[in-house]
C-alpha cells in the first residue's frame, strides 16, 4: 500500500503515471519490521517508513517469521509505472541481535558484490548503496534503541536472475542486484510525460522572474549546488537524461544563462555531442576521455589503462596519478562548445557554463572559474 504516493502521481495529457518505491526503501522497510518483530516477538503484517524524499510509505509485509533471536520479513518492490528489472520481486531482511551496540549491514543471496572500483563502494562490499545503508541503519536504530546492536542481512532470492536484465555486470557488480535509491521513490520515466514535467518546472522558474537557471541530472547535482554554490539552490532544475531537450526549452523560455552541473560520467557524453545521456541511447564516456587525454599528449600506456576502466570515476585516480587533471577543464569547455553549436541558429543564444564534479561531490573542472560562474548566476 502506498496511499501517500497516489496524490503525487505524474500527470500527462490527462493520464496519471503512478510513482513507486526503490529497492532501498524495500530493504529499509523489511529491516525495520524484522527488527520490530525481533524486539516484540510478535508477527507484523504492515510497516511504515519515511523515505529520504520525505514521503511516508505504508507497506504490506510478506513472509514474516520469528526464530528466537532472529526475525525475517520481505517487502515486494513496486516500481509504479516505471517498470524495471526489480519490479515485483521480494527484498528480504533478516535481523538478529549482536553482543555489542553496533548495527552491521550485509548483503546475502541475490545481492551483488562490488568487484571493480568507481561506483562509490569499496571492493568486496555488498552492492547496498550509501543512502539505503543510512536509512536501514536509522530504521533499525529507531526500533531497538541506542543500547543494543543488530546484524542486518539483506537478501533477494530472485536477484541473480533479475540482475541479468541490468547493467550490473558491466559495472563490476556480480552475483545479484543492487540495493539503490537516493530518494526512496521511483518517479515514472515515461519519456514524454517526464520531459514535460521537467519543462513545467523551467516555466515556473521563468514565471518567477529568474533569468539564469542551473540544470542538473539529479540528486547528486542538487547536492553539489547546495555545497559549492550556496544561495543558488532556488535556481536548480532537474534535467534527468534530457540535456538537449531541457537546453532547448531554456532557450525557448528565453533564459539568458544556463549552468550545466553534473557528474563527469554524465556530462562527458555531451562533450561528444550526445544530448540524451541515458546509456540505452549512447555512451562514449571512456572513448571521449581517452581522446582528450591523447590530445594533451598522454602516454599510450595510460590511455590503454583508462580505456579499460569500467567507469569515469575509476579512471580519475589514474588521471591524478599521471598529472592530467587539466583534462576536466578541457572537457567542460568542449561541453559548452557543443551546446553553443546546438543552439547556433537561435536569435539570441543563451550563455552556457559547465561544471563537472566527482562522485564524492568535489569540483573537477569548469569552462571558466567557478567563482566567476557563481557571480554571473546572481
Q: What is the pTM of this model?
A: 0.66
CATH of region 3-186 = 3.30.2110.10
Sign of CA pseudo-dihedral 13, 14, 15, 19: positive
Phi-psi region of 128 (alpha: psi -120 to 50; beta: other; left: phi over 0): beta
pLDDT tens for the chain, 378 residues: list them.
444 565 566 554 456 668 889 999 999 999 999 999 999 999 999 999 999 988 999 999 999 999 999 999 999 999 887 767 899 999 999 999 999 999 999 999 999 999 887 777 899 999 999 999 999 999 999 999 999 999 999 999 999 999 999 878 877 899 999 998 888 888 765 566 578 778 888 988 898 899 999 999 988 899 999 999 999 999 999 999 999 999 999 999 999 999 999 999 999 999 999 999 988 788 999 999 999 999 999 999 999 999 999 899 999 999 999 999 999 999 999 999 999 999 999 999 999 999 999 999 999 999 999 999 999 998
How many CA atoms, within 13 angstroms, populate the side-chain half-sphere of residue 47? Answer: 28
What pLDDT, on a 0 to 100 scale, did the predictor assign at position 8?
61
Q: Specify the pLDDT at position 280.
A: 79
Classify residue 300 as exposed, middle or buried by CB count within 10 Å of its CB (0-12, 13-18, 19+). exposed
Distance from C-alpha of 100 to C-alpha of 173, rounded to nearest angstrom: 31
Could you state, in order of their start, the residue ranges of all structural domains in the chain? 3-186, 191-376
Query: Of 102, 109, 99, which is closest to residue 153 (Cα–Cα)?
Result: 109
At 2 the pLDDT is: 46
What is the DSSP pairing of strand 70-76 with strand 185-186? unpaired
Cell numbers for 14, please give them.
490527462
Q: Output the CA–CA distances (angstroms, integers) from residue 93 to 31, 106, 152, in the order listed.
A: 5, 10, 7
Q: Contact, 369 vs 332, CB < 8 A?
A: no
Placement of cell 518567477 in the chain = 208
Amino acid at each position: 500500500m502506498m496511499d501517500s504516493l497516489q496524490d503525487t502521481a505524474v500527470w500527462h495529457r490527462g493520464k496519471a503515471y503512478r510513482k513507486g518505491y526503490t529497492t532501498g526503501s524495500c530493504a529499509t522497510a523489511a529491516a525495520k519490521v524484522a527488527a520490530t518483530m525481533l524486539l516484540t516477538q510478535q508477527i507484523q503484517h504492515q510497516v511504515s517508513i519515511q523515505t529520504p524524499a520525505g514521503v511516508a510509505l505504508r507497506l504490506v509485509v510478506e513472509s514474516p517469521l520469528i526464530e528466537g533471536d532472529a526475525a525475517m520479513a520481505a517487502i515486494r518492490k513496486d516500481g509504479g509505472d516505471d517498470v524495471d528489472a526489480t519490479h515485483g520481486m521480494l527484498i528480504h531482511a533478516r535481523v538478529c541481535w549482536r553482543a555489542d551496540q553496533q548495527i552491521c549491514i550485509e548483503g546475502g543471496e541475490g545481492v551483488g558484490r562490488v568487484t571493480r572500483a568507481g561506483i562509490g563502494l569499496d571492493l568486496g562490499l555488498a552492492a547496498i548503496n550509501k543512502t539505503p545503508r543510512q536509512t536501514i541503519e536509522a530504521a533499525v536504530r529507531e526500533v531497538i534503541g541506542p543500547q543494543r546492536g543488530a546484524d542486518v542481512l539483506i537478501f533477494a532470492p530472485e536477484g541473480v536472475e533479475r540482475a541479468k536484465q541490468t547493467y550490473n555486470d558491466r559495472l563490476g557488480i556480480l552475483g545479484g542486484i543492487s540495493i539503490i535509491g537516493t530518494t526512496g521513490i521511483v518517479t515514472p520515466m515515461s519519456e514524454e510525460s517526464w520531459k514535460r514535467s521537467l519543462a513545467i518546472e523551467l516555466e515556473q522558474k521563468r514565471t518567477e522572474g529568474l533569468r539564469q537557471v542551473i540544470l542538473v541530472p539529479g540528486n547528486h547535482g542538487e547536492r553539489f549546488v547546495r555545497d559549492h554554490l550556496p544561495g543558488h539552490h532556488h535556481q536548480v532544475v532537474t534535467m534527468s537524461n534530457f540535456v538537449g531537450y531541457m537546453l532547448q526549452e531554456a532557450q525557448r523560455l528565453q533564459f539568458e544563462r544556463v549552468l550545466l552541473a553534473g557528474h563527469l560520467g554524465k556530462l562527458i557524453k555531451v562533450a561528444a555531442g550526445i544530448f540524451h545521456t541515458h546509456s540505452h541511447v549512447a555512451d562514449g564516456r571512456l572513448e571521449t576521455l581517452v581522446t582528450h587525454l591523447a590530445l594533451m599528449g598522454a602516454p599510450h600506456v595510460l590511455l590503454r589503462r583508462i580505456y579499460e576502466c569500467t567507469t569515469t570515476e575509476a579512471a580519475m585516480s589514474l588521471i591524478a596519478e599521471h598529472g592530467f587533471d587539466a583534462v576536466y577543464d578541457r572537457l567542460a569547455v568542449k561541453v559548452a562548445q557543443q551546446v553553443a553549436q546546438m543552439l547556433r541558429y537561435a536569435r539570441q543564444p543563451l550563455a552556457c557554463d559547465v561544471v563537472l564534479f566527482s562522485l564524492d561531490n568535489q569540483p573537477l573542472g569548469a569552462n571558466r572559474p567557478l567563482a566567476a560562474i557563481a557571480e554571473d548566476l546572481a
